[in-house]
Amino acid sequence: MTDQKPITTTTIFLFIPNLIGYARVILALGSLAVMRFHPKICTWLYVVSCLLDAFDGAAARKFNQSTKFGAILDMVTDRCTTSCLICFLSSRYPNWAIFYQLLISLDLASHYMHMVAMLGSGQQSHKKVGKERGWFLNLYYTNTRVLFIFCAANELFFVALYLYSFPLATPPYLGSVYGIPLSYATIMAIVTFPLWLGKQCTNVIQMVQAAQVLAQVDVEERNGKLAAGSAKNK
């Protein structure tokens, strides 16, 4: 029988899903580097980085390499890449800046509170959502197809707005509707808008339920201290 080598931090950092996560970061940085002046290259880099998000989870399950570090890396990469793109949209559509700021705030607050609530309740990953958190969040996080469709539509909607801000870079135009010129970016925005809106609603639901979980943890801790104090005074 061969003795297995002990797991070290280096071992964790070199797990396959985490290597995929690093690739996502590199691709995202590349998209940021050309975001201002090369929309096509930026879009490809950004989209591939987002698509790899589906592969790191699959790799973690296949090779039994799910880790807290990997879960945090996945969450942070998602939030940072989306936030950076929305920040750029604020500069391209300055009249909508406060709207984009609120979207970033909702996204970050919702996912941070959800992550803390899940880890605080003993879960290894923010995606291990039980039915006690509601049927919708349970479906959203445990059904990989549903999660992928919502997340992909959310990112593609923002990408469509990004491309639409470069009118000369997104031909051909396919006619117009009510005076609005139709391009592939316009059509992509129209198609993904309902799911994008659903994703924002999911963020609100997630934040409210995470607040309830955190408050319940506080209740249990305080009641536990009160009970311990009462027992000590007897």
Structure tokens at 139: 């479906």
Measure the CA–CA gap between 9 and 192, rounded to whole angstroms.
40
Q: Which domains does the chain possess?
A: 9-233 (1.20.120)
**Amino acid letter at 207?**
M
Average pLDDT over residues 94-113: 95
Report the pLDDT value the prediction gives residue 160, as an integer from 0 to 100.
94
pTM of the entire predicted model:
0.86
Give the DSSP per-residue string, 157-216. HHHHHHHHT-GGGSPPP--EETTEEP-HHHHHHHHHHHHHHHHHHHHHHHHHHHHHHHHH
Average pLDDT over residues 89-98: 96
- pLDDT per residue as tens digits for the range 115-140: 888 877 666 566 667 777 778 888 88
Which of 216, 64, 218, 210 lies closest to 141, judged by CA?
210
Measure the CA–CA gap between 168 and 173, rounded to whole angstroms.
10
**Amino acid letter at 84?**
C
Whether the per-residue pLDDT at 169 is higher than 80: the answer is: no
Report the pLDDT value the prediction gives residue 232, as an integer from 0 to 100.
67
Whether the per-residue pLDDT at 95 is higher than 50: the answer is: yes
Measure the CA–CA gap between 64 and 20, rounded to whole angstroms.
15
CB atoms within 10 A of CB 207: 19
CB atoms within 10 A of CB 202: 19
Active site residues: 78
Measure the CA–CA gap between 74 and 51, rounded to whole angstroms.
12
